Amino acid sequence: MSEQGKGTGAIALGWWSTNIGARESSSARALSARLRRAAPVTVLCEPAVQQLAKNLSYGPAQADRLVRLVSLLVEVREHVGTPLASRLGGIDPILSNLRFQRLMRADGDELTAQLRRAIGMADRRCNVAALANDVIHWGDKTRARWCFQYFGADAPAENSKEIIE
């Protein structure tokens, strides 16, 4: 199936499943280990990462986002249907409210470090496609959705309008 027409999350999930998610494969374990320890330029030198960049239609201008995405995807061991924010929060949260607030304020390298720790706290299991989409499109809308997911509330529909009569 062609990567063209797929969303960011679907492309990243397919890449993760093929290159990193198959932990029974020695090549997947080796790539994951190399990527976890690599400097940003070394990450970009991996052929598998270049294939992901090609599938996402990313070039040098998006290198930082690509490196962040890959460095977080290698931390995930199991793809499940639950988004990371939901796994972290809920009735008995595994990430404290204060740490979650700190995560919501983070950007750049601090965001990457905070998300890496959060993935570890979630037993390295989350929805890979949702994580990838959120990492690539990190901003106020993503943060707001994470807040609703963390607290287990339904987010209001974006297009809902109150009708005042």
Q: In the predicted model, is pLDDT for residue 159 greater than 60?
A: no
**pTM of this prediction exceeds 0.75:** yes
* Among candidate residues 89, 72, 88, the one with its CA nearest the CA of residue 9: 72
Cβ 98 vs Cβ 141: under 8 Å: no
Could you give the CA distance from residue 93 to residue 51 in angstroms, rounded to a whole number?
A: 37
**73 in any annotated domain:** yes
Q: Are 2 and 55 in contact (CB under 8 A)?
A: no
Higher per-residue pLDDT: 134 or 165: 134
Question: Rounded to the nearest 5°, which phi and psi values hold at 41?
Answer: -65, -35
Asked if residues 132 and 13 have their Cβ atoms less than 8 Å apart, the reply is yes
**Domain contains 14:** yes
- Indicate whether 28 belongs to any domain: yes
Is residue 82 a part of any domain in this protein? yes
Q: Provide the 8-state DSSP code for 158.
A: T
Quick check: 123 and 162 in contact, CB under 8 A? no
Domain that holds residue 87: 8-150
Q: Is residue 162 part of a domain?
A: no
Q: Give the per-residue pLDDT at 160.
A: 43
What does the DSSP 8-state code read for residue 45?
T
Average pLDDT for 93-99: 95
Domain count, the chain: 1
Q: H or E segment at 120?
A: helix 108-121
Give the mean pLDDT of the chain. 90
Residue 163 lies in a domain: no
CATH code of the domain containing 70: 1.10.520.40
In a domain, 98, yes or no: yes
DSSP 3-state of 9:
helix
Provide the terminal-to-terminal Cα distance of the chain, rounded to the nearest Å: 50
- pLDDT, tens digit (0-9, with 9 covering 90-100), for 105-141: 999 999 999 999 999 999 999 999 999 999 999 999 9
With cut-offs at 50, 70 and 90, classify the pLDDT of residue 22.
confident
Query: Which pLDDT band, with edges at 50, 70 and 90, does 164 fall under?
Result: very low
Contact present, 149 and 83 (Cβ < 8 Å): yes
Query: pLDDT at position 165, please?
Result: 37
**157: in domain:** no
Cβ–Cβ < 8 Å for 53, 101: no
For range 92-112, the mean pLDDT: 95
pLDDT at residue 4 greater than cutoff 80: no
3: confidence class by pLDDT, cuts 50, 70, 90: low
